[in-house]
Amino acid sequence: MTHPQATVASPRLRVLVARAAFPDVLARLKDVADVDDTPDDRIETPEGLRLRMRDKHGAFITNSERIDTALLEACPALRVVSTMTVGVDHIDLAACASRGVIVTHTPDVLTETTADLGFGLLLAAARQMADAERYLRAGRWNRWRYDLFAGRDVHGSTLGIIGMGRIGQAIARRAALGFGMQVLYHNRSRLPDAIEQALGAQHRSLDALLTQSHHVLLALPYTPSARHLIGAAELARMQPGATLVNVARGGIVDEIALADALERGHLGAAGLDVFDGEPAVNARLLTAPRVVLTPHIASASIPTRRAMVQLAVDNLCAVLQGQPPLTPVAF
């Protein structure tokens, strides 16, 4: 007598959601996998992350999770890492490539929001808004004075942008069209003539940009060669009273040299949204004059953050369902 062969159910895929995000957007993951989420938004130690990820096929991460060789060796089932960031300096791409792990990120959806904050930092720093607000809140404002928090003009001045990708170009549009600024830029490769003309932007060497700009804004990707690209020598080349704004990565600026330049008065002001070793912030920056500090919030609008989570989820679901990712990172 023969018996019908029992059907063996395919094992469910497993996904780690390493940080809290919008629950309604994350809910889609439960349609394709068993989800180990983190509603309390705790940040795992490297060992804790390895333990939670060791049997997972996919992972939703942010820039607080380091994906390195040690983690990958402990997670042989891992197929895809989807980071809710544009930058991927927290991921060892070579190690992922050697193990066939797909890495995805979230470009494009945060461009305009990041450009808004970058230009906001430029305005706030150049016009000394943060120092002025603290002065007022401390009850120290008791009279008008001709030079009270007299900063530098933004309109009609020269803005030098280092890194002319999507975000750099979005800032250039705001500068040229909205504030009548002359825009200079330095980039790994020169933009096509048509884009330069549309933006009213002129290419310069790094040295020329630093010496010719009233304000310098960093919007370049972080790479090992970019570490401390702006150090003591570069700050000294900037015009006296110039403004430096960083919405790229903290390690691009030598923060000790920056604090020195602010305290000596050579640099007029700085606006920083990113820090070397964040969320820790160098104590020198906390006490330096004429500096505006924000906690890595360039993309922090509700529509943009939702779009970032949605894209990260869509990438993860696509790969786990055997489809190509929407925005893979090129190895």
Residues carrying an active site annotation: 249, 278, 296
3-state secondary structure of 23: helix
- Per DSSP, 148 falls in state T
The end-to-end CA distance of the chain, in Å, is 57
* CA nearest neighbour of 109 among 308, 248, 297: 308
Residues facing residue 249 across a β-bridge: none
Q: How far apart are CA 136 and CA 297, in angstroms?
A: 24
DSSP string, 90-123: TB-HHHHHHTT-EEE---STTHHHHHHHHHHHHH
In order of 59, 107, 111, 202, 203, the CA distances from 193 in angstroms are 41, 24, 22, 10, 10
Residue type present at position 210: L
Element (H, E) at 270: strand 269-272
* CA nearest neighbour of 105 among 299, 302, 301, 294: 299
